Amino acid sequence: MAESSPSPSVRRLQVTAGVTAVLALIQLVLGLLIATGIAGQLRAVHGGIGYLTTLSAVVAAVFAWQVAKLTGAKGVFFHALSLPVLMIVQIGLAEVHLEIVHIILGVLIVAGVVGLVPMAAKQAATVQAHA
């Protein structure tokens, strides 16, 4: 029997979670380069990608909400929703130059974003099991 493809909402969640994770990992690398003094001139790029990452996380949260309506499980939605909220706090920390707190929160955000990818995959399995 052929395996069915995940619903469009789940697929969108998986794609946006993956895009957000890639952007967050790029942020991590740029942040490390800036923090070590290797590439301080990349601050503007780091900031710009930070805005893109936040936008991608907002879109992922919207798709997570759609998937939550399909599955009834709200955990992934609240996890996805917390990420753009934390990213907005992160932007504020950067604006007021609280670099140490910004770095610590950034590492935690990367962990949360990377964790969203397997959570989205699990939701795909859950939706397929109910289909």
Domain range summary for the chain, segments of one domain joined by +: 8-130
pLDDT in tens, the chain (131 residues): 445 667 899 999 999 999 999 999 999 999 999 999 888 789 999 999 999 999 999 999 999 999 999 888 899 999 999 999 999 999 999 999 999 999 999 999 999 999 999 999 998 777 776 66
At 99 the three-state DSSP class reads helix
- From the number of C-beta atoms within 10 Å of its C-beta (0-12, 13-18, 19+), residue 90 rates as buried
d(CA 125, CA 90): 32
**Distance between CA 20 and CA 40 in Å, rounded?**
23
Give residue 47's Cα distance to chain centre.
16
Report the pLDDT value the prediction gives residue 117, as an integer from 0 to 100.
96
- Determine the pLDDT at residue 80: 97
Give whole-number Cα distances, 22 to 99, 106, 117, in Å.
22, 14, 10
Q: What is the pLDDT of residue 124?
A: 78
pLDDT at residue 1, as a whole number:
40
Give the pLDDT confidence score for residue 38 in this predicted structure.
Answer: 86
